[in-house]
Protein backbone atom coordinates (compact mmCIF):
# COMPACT_ATOMS: atom_id res chain seq x y z
CA UNK A 1 0.00 0.00 0.00
CA UNK A 2 1.36 3.43 -0.95
CA UNK A 3 1.92 5.81 1.98
CA UNK A 4 -0.72 8.48 2.36
CA UNK A 5 1.14 11.50 3.63
CA UNK A 6 -0.10 14.71 5.28
CA UNK A 7 2.21 17.72 5.37
CA UNK A 8 1.14 20.31 7.94
CA UNK A 9 2.71 23.69 7.19
CA UNK A 10 3.17 22.82 3.51
CA UNK A 11 3.43 26.44 2.35
CA UNK A 12 6.45 27.35 4.47
CA UNK A 13 10.12 27.36 3.54
CA UNK A 14 10.67 23.63 4.13
CA UNK A 15 7.09 22.50 3.51
CA UNK A 16 6.97 23.77 -0.09
CA UNK A 17 10.01 21.82 -1.21
CA UNK A 18 9.14 18.79 0.88
CA UNK A 19 5.70 18.64 -0.76
CA UNK A 20 7.25 18.72 -4.24
CA UNK A 21 9.85 16.07 -3.38
CA UNK A 22 7.35 13.70 -1.76
CA UNK A 23 4.82 14.15 -4.57
CA UNK A 24 7.51 13.19 -7.08
CA UNK A 25 8.34 10.15 -4.99
CA UNK A 26 4.95 8.68 -4.04
CA UNK A 27 2.55 10.36 -6.47
CA UNK A 28 0.73 13.70 -6.29
CA UNK A 29 -2.51 12.33 -4.90
CA UNK A 30 -0.77 10.49 -2.07
CA UNK A 31 0.56 13.72 -0.54
CA UNK A 32 -1.99 16.03 1.06
CA UNK A 33 -0.56 19.51 1.53
CA UNK A 34 -2.10 21.64 4.28
CA UNK A 35 -1.55 25.03 5.82
CA UNK A 36 -3.38 27.87 7.52
CA UNK A 37 -3.47 29.64 4.14
CA UNK A 38 -3.12 28.73 0.47
CA UNK A 39 0.34 28.36 -1.06
CA UNK A 40 1.80 29.36 -4.41
CA UNK A 41 0.19 28.37 -7.69
CA UNK A 42 2.55 25.46 -8.34
CA UNK A 43 1.89 23.85 -4.96
CA UNK A 44 -1.87 24.36 -5.18
CA UNK A 45 -2.02 22.91 -8.69
CA UNK A 46 0.17 19.89 -8.06
CA UNK A 47 -2.13 17.91 -5.73
CA UNK A 48 -4.69 17.88 -2.91
CA UNK A 49 -4.69 20.77 -0.44
CA UNK A 50 -6.54 21.42 2.84
CA UNK A 51 -6.78 24.60 4.89
CA UNK A 52 -5.75 23.46 8.35
CA UNK A 53 -5.03 25.13 11.69
CA UNK A 54 -2.34 22.96 13.30
CA UNK A 55 -3.41 24.05 16.80
CA UNK A 56 -6.96 22.72 16.31
CA UNK A 57 -7.13 19.02 17.28
CA UNK A 58 -10.49 18.33 15.56
CA UNK A 59 -9.26 19.84 12.29
CA UNK A 60 -6.01 17.86 12.33
CA UNK A 61 -7.80 14.61 13.20
CA UNK A 62 -10.54 15.33 10.66
CA UNK A 63 -8.10 15.75 7.74
CA UNK A 64 -6.18 12.62 8.80
CA UNK A 65 -9.41 10.57 8.85
CA UNK A 66 -10.80 12.10 5.65
CA UNK A 67 -7.72 11.17 3.62
CA UNK A 68 -6.84 7.93 5.44
CA UNK A 69 -3.38 9.32 6.26
CA UNK A 70 -0.63 7.10 7.65
CA UNK A 71 2.35 9.50 7.79
CA UNK A 72 2.45 13.10 9.04
CA UNK A 73 5.20 15.67 8.54
CA UNK A 74 4.46 18.46 11.03
CA UNK A 75 6.32 21.47 9.62
CA UNK A 76 4.17 24.29 11.08
CA UNK A 77 6.19 26.31 13.61
CA UNK A 78 6.94 29.81 14.81
CA UNK A 79 10.69 30.45 14.41
CA UNK A 80 13.18 31.99 16.81
CA UNK A 81 12.98 35.73 16.13
CA UNK A 82 9.17 35.89 15.86
CA UNK A 83 8.68 33.71 18.94
CA UNK A 84 10.72 36.20 20.99
CA UNK A 85 8.11 38.82 20.05
CA UNK A 86 5.09 36.57 20.67
CA UNK A 87 6.26 34.09 23.33
CA UNK A 88 2.90 32.55 24.29
CA UNK A 89 1.74 32.28 20.67
CA UNK A 90 5.03 30.62 19.74
CA UNK A 91 4.83 28.18 22.63
CA UNK A 92 1.21 27.30 21.87
CA UNK A 93 1.70 26.75 18.16
CA UNK A 94 4.91 24.76 18.56
CA UNK A 95 3.70 22.60 21.44
CA UNK A 96 -0.03 22.11 20.81
CA UNK A 97 0.44 21.05 17.20
CA UNK A 98 3.00 18.46 18.31
CA UNK A 99 0.75 17.07 21.05
CA UNK A 100 -2.15 16.76 18.59
CA UNK A 101 -0.10 14.72 16.15
CA UNK A 102 1.59 12.59 18.83
CA UNK A 103 -1.78 11.80 20.43
CA UNK A 104 -3.32 10.86 17.08
CA UNK A 105 -0.32 8.53 16.51
CA UNK A 106 -0.70 7.10 20.03
CA UNK A 107 -4.33 6.29 19.19
CA UNK A 108 -3.05 4.24 16.23
CA UNK A 109 -4.59 6.49 13.53
CA UNK A 110 -1.21 7.25 11.90
CA UNK A 111 1.91 5.10 11.80
CA UNK A 112 4.81 7.54 11.41
CA UNK A 113 5.54 11.16 12.36
CA UNK A 114 8.26 13.61 11.33
CA UNK A 115 8.80 16.63 13.55
CA UNK A 116 11.50 19.25 13.00
CA UNK A 117 13.74 20.31 15.85
CA UNK A 118 16.56 22.86 15.56
CA UNK A 119 20.04 23.90 16.67
CA UNK A 120 18.04 26.30 18.87
CA UNK A 121 17.74 23.50 21.45
CA UNK A 122 21.29 24.44 22.44
CA UNK A 123 22.12 27.47 24.55
CA UNK A 124 24.94 29.68 25.80
CA UNK A 125 26.31 26.96 28.12
CA UNK A 126 26.53 24.33 25.33
CA UNK A 127 30.01 23.62 23.86
CA UNK A 128 30.08 25.83 20.74
CA UNK A 129 32.38 23.82 18.49
CA UNK A 130 31.43 20.40 17.15
CA UNK A 131 28.46 20.37 19.50
CA UNK A 132 27.84 16.71 20.41
CA UNK A 133 24.53 14.86 20.05
CA UNK A 134 24.23 14.65 23.83
CA UNK A 135 25.43 17.67 25.73
CA UNK A 136 24.39 20.57 27.97
CA UNK A 137 21.11 22.01 26.68
CA UNK A 138 19.93 25.22 28.32
CA UNK A 139 18.20 27.10 25.46
CA UNK A 140 17.62 30.80 26.14
CA UNK A 141 14.90 31.48 23.52
CA UNK A 142 11.18 30.65 23.53
CA UNK A 143 11.64 28.77 20.28
CA UNK A 144 14.59 26.79 21.68
CA UNK A 145 12.68 25.94 24.85
CA UNK A 146 9.72 24.71 22.77
CA UNK A 147 11.98 22.60 20.55
CA UNK A 148 13.81 21.09 23.52
CA UNK A 149 10.53 20.27 25.29
CA UNK A 150 9.22 18.83 22.00
CA UNK A 151 12.25 16.55 21.72
CA UNK A 152 11.66 15.23 25.23
CA UNK A 153 7.99 14.55 24.37
CA UNK A 154 8.91 12.78 21.12
CA UNK A 155 11.25 10.44 22.96
CA UNK A 156 8.65 9.92 25.70
CA UNK A 157 5.90 8.97 23.22
CA UNK A 158 8.30 6.59 21.47
CA UNK A 159 9.37 4.85 24.67
CA UNK A 160 6.02 4.81 26.48
CA UNK A 161 3.58 4.33 23.63
CA UNK A 162 5.70 3.03 20.73
CA UNK A 163 4.98 6.08 18.54
CA UNK A 164 7.34 5.99 15.53
CA UNK A 165 8.39 9.64 15.61
CA UNK A 166 11.56 10.84 13.91
CA UNK A 167 13.27 14.21 14.06
CA UNK A 168 16.21 16.33 12.90
CA UNK A 169 17.81 19.36 14.55
CA UNK A 170 17.89 21.54 11.44
CA UNK A 171 20.61 24.16 11.13
CA UNK A 172 19.82 27.40 9.23
CA UNK A 173 18.26 26.37 5.92
CA UNK A 174 19.10 28.17 2.68
CA UNK A 175 16.69 28.00 -0.26
CA UNK A 176 15.49 30.12 -3.17
CA UNK A 177 11.97 28.85 -3.82
CA UNK A 178 10.16 30.03 -0.69
CA UNK A 179 11.47 32.69 1.69
CA UNK A 180 11.98 31.78 5.33
CA UNK A 181 10.11 33.89 7.89
CA UNK A 182 10.98 34.96 11.40
CA UNK A 183 14.26 33.06 11.89
CA UNK A 184 17.69 34.20 13.07
CA UNK A 185 19.44 32.48 10.16
CA UNK A 186 17.21 34.23 7.56
CA UNK A 187 20.00 36.71 6.75
CA UNK A 188 21.71 33.94 4.79
CA UNK A 189 18.78 33.83 2.35
CA UNK A 190 18.02 37.57 2.22
CA UNK A 191 21.64 38.33 1.34
CA UNK A 192 21.39 36.48 -1.99
CA UNK A 193 18.16 38.25 -2.98
CA UNK A 194 19.60 41.66 -2.12
CA UNK A 195 22.92 40.91 -3.83
CA UNK A 196 21.03 40.33 -7.07
CA UNK A 197 18.47 43.12 -6.62
CA UNK A 198 20.55 46.00 -5.22
CA UNK A 199 24.16 44.79 -5.04
CA UNK A 200 24.32 45.44 -1.29
CA UNK A 201 23.07 44.03 2.00
CA UNK A 202 23.00 45.10 5.64
CA UNK A 203 23.40 42.06 7.87
CA UNK A 204 21.54 41.92 11.19
CA UNK A 205 24.31 39.64 12.52
CA UNK A 206 27.94 40.67 13.07
CA UNK A 207 30.51 39.78 10.42
CA UNK A 208 32.14 37.01 12.46
CA UNK A 209 29.01 35.21 13.72
CA UNK A 210 29.51 31.61 12.66
CA UNK A 211 26.43 29.38 12.48
CA UNK A 212 25.66 25.88 11.16
CA UNK A 213 23.79 26.04 7.83
CA UNK A 214 22.53 23.73 5.07
CA UNK A 215 21.23 24.01 1.51
CA UNK A 216 17.56 23.00 1.25
CA UNK A 217 18.17 20.10 -1.17
CA UNK A 218 20.35 18.45 1.46
CA UNK A 219 17.77 19.09 4.19
CA UNK A 220 14.96 17.54 2.13
CA UNK A 221 17.09 14.51 1.25
CA UNK A 222 17.99 14.06 4.93
CA UNK A 223 14.35 14.31 6.00
CA UNK A 224 13.08 11.76 3.50
CA UNK A 225 15.97 9.38 4.12
CA UNK A 226 15.42 9.47 7.90
CA UNK A 227 11.73 8.72 7.33
CA UNK A 228 12.58 5.84 4.99
CA UNK A 229 15.20 4.30 7.30
CA UNK A 230 14.24 0.96 8.90
CA UNK A 231 12.91 1.67 12.42
CA UNK A 232 15.74 -0.21 14.13
CA UNK A 233 18.31 2.12 12.53
CA UNK A 234 16.67 5.18 14.06
CA UNK A 235 18.37 4.98 17.43
CA UNK A 236 17.92 8.62 18.48
CA UNK A 237 14.24 9.28 19.20
CA UNK A 238 14.63 12.81 20.53
CA UNK A 239 16.23 14.46 17.47
CA UNK A 240 19.35 13.98 15.35
CA UNK A 241 22.16 16.54 15.06
CA UNK A 242 22.63 17.25 11.35
CA UNK A 243 25.42 19.24 9.76
CA UNK A 244 26.64 20.40 6.36
CA UNK A 245 28.42 23.79 6.44
CA UNK A 246 29.28 26.58 8.87
CA UNK A 247 29.93 30.15 7.81
CA UNK A 248 29.86 33.78 8.93
CA UNK A 249 28.19 36.71 7.12
CA UNK A 250 31.69 37.77 6.05
CA UNK A 251 32.56 34.42 4.42
CA UNK A 252 29.16 34.26 2.78
CA UNK A 253 29.65 37.74 1.31
CA UNK A 254 33.06 36.67 -0.02
CA UNK A 255 31.52 33.67 -1.79
CA UNK A 256 28.86 35.95 -3.38
CA UNK A 257 31.60 38.37 -4.47
CA UNK A 258 33.11 35.61 -6.62
CA UNK A 259 29.98 35.95 -8.79
CA UNK A 260 29.12 39.62 -8.16
CA UNK A 261 32.46 41.39 -7.54
CA UNK A 262 30.86 44.77 -6.72
CA UNK A 263 28.64 43.29 -3.93
CA UNK A 264 28.89 45.25 -0.68
CA UNK A 265 27.99 44.15 2.83
CA UNK A 266 27.54 46.25 5.98
CA UNK A 267 26.56 45.26 9.50
CA UNK A 268 23.84 46.53 11.86
CA UNK A 269 23.33 43.83 14.51
CA UNK A 270 19.90 43.81 16.19
CA UNK A 271 18.15 41.62 18.83
CA UNK A 272 18.84 38.53 16.70
CA UNK A 273 22.57 38.82 17.48
CA UNK A 274 21.97 37.62 21.04
CA UNK A 275 20.00 34.63 19.75
CA UNK A 276 22.76 33.73 17.29
CA UNK A 277 25.41 34.11 20.00
CA UNK A 278 23.61 31.50 22.10
CA UNK A 279 23.78 28.85 19.34
CA UNK A 280 26.62 26.53 18.28
CA UNK A 281 29.09 27.42 15.51
CA UNK A 282 29.46 23.83 14.31
CA UNK A 283 27.69 20.52 14.94
CA UNK A 284 28.90 16.94 15.35
CA UNK A 285 26.43 14.82 13.38
CA UNK A 286 28.26 11.48 13.52
CA UNK A 287 25.17 9.68 14.89
CA UNK A 288 23.11 10.59 11.80
CA UNK A 289 26.00 9.54 9.55
CA UNK A 290 26.44 6.19 11.33
CA UNK A 291 22.80 5.29 12.04
CA UNK A 292 21.12 6.06 8.70
CA UNK A 293 23.94 7.00 6.35
CA UNK A 294 23.56 10.80 6.20
CA UNK A 295 25.97 12.60 3.84
CA UNK A 296 25.71 16.21 2.73
CA UNK A 297 26.33 17.23 -0.90
CA UNK A 298 26.46 21.02 -0.89
CA UNK A 299 29.43 23.09 0.20
CA UNK A 300 29.43 26.89 0.29
CA UNK A 301 30.60 27.43 -3.30
CA UNK A 302 28.13 24.95 -4.81
CA UNK A 303 25.31 26.44 -2.75
CA UNK A 304 26.11 30.03 -3.75
CA UNK A 305 26.09 29.12 -7.46
CA UNK A 306 22.71 27.34 -7.12
CA UNK A 307 21.20 30.14 -5.04
CA UNK A 308 22.13 32.90 -7.49
CA UNK A 309 21.01 30.89 -10.49
CA UNK A 310 17.81 29.79 -8.75
CA UNK A 311 16.78 33.29 -7.62
CA UNK A 312 17.40 34.67 -11.12
CA UNK A 313 15.19 31.97 -12.61
CA UNK A 314 12.35 31.78 -10.08
CA UNK A 315 12.11 35.43 -9.06
CA UNK A 316 13.17 36.95 -12.40
CA UNK A 317 15.78 39.21 -10.74
**Helix, strand, or coil (residue 58):** helix
Nearest to 192 by CA among 15, 14, 43, 313: 313
With CA atoms as reference, report the closest residue to 94 among 46, 49, 26, 150: 150
CA distance 58 to 265: 48
- For residue 98, give every residue at least 6 positions away whose Cβ sits within 8 Å of its Cβ, in sequence order, or none: 74, 115, 150, 153, 154
Q: Is 143 annotated in the active site?
A: yes
Distance of CA 162 to the CA centre of its chain: 25
Which positions from 125 through 144 interact with ligand AKB, judged by CB under 6 A?
143
Torsion sign (Cα): 24, 26, 27, 28? negative
Q: Between residues 78 and 196, which has the closer beta carbon with respect to ligand AKB?
A: 78
Identify which range of 4-12, 151-159, 178-186, 245-253 contacts ligand AKB by CB under 6 A. Answer: 178-186
Q: Which of 184, 223, 239, 246 binds ligand AKB (CB under 6 A)?
A: 184
> Per CB under 6 A, which of residues 48..77 are in contact with ligand AKB?
none
Nearer of residues 127 and 181 to ligand AKB, judged by Cβ: 181
Q: Which of these segments, 86-94, 152-160, 180-188, 221-229, binds ligand AKB (CB under 6 A)?
A: 180-188
Residues that contact ligand AKB, how many (by CB under 6 A): 11
CA-wise closest residue to 278 among 143, 170, 124: 124
249 binds ligand AKB (CB under 6 A): no
Whole-number Cα distances in Å, 123 to 83, 87, 170, 214, 236: 16, 17, 15, 20, 20
- Site for ligand AKB contains 304 (CB under 6 A): no
The torsion of the CA quartet 274, 205, 117, 302, rounded to 10 degrees, works out to -160
CB of 134 to ligand AKB, least distance (A): 19
- Which of the residues 143, 158, 170, 176 is marked catalytic? 143
Q: Which of 39, 139, 172, 280 binds ligand AKB (CB under 6 A)?
A: 172
- Which one of 61-69, 89-97, 182-190, 230-238 is the stretch in contact with ligand AKB (CB under 6 A)? 182-190
Q: Is 120 in the site for ligand AKB (CB under 6 A)?
A: yes
Footprint of ligand AKB on residues 74-113 (CB under 6 A)?
79-80
Helix orientation angle between 57-66 and 87-106, rounded to the nearest 10 degrees: 40
Binding site for ligand AKB (CB under 6 A): 79-80, 118-120, 143, 170, 172, 183-185
* Residues with a known catalytic role: 143
Amino acid sequence: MASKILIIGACGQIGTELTTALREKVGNNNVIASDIREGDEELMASGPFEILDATNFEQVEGVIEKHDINEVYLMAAMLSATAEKFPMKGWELNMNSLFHVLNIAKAGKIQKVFWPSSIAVFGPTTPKLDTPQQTVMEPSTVYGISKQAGERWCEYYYKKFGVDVRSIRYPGLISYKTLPGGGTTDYAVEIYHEALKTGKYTSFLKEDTELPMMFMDDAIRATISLMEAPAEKVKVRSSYNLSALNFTPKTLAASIRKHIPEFEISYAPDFRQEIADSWPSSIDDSHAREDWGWQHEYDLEKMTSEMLEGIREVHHV
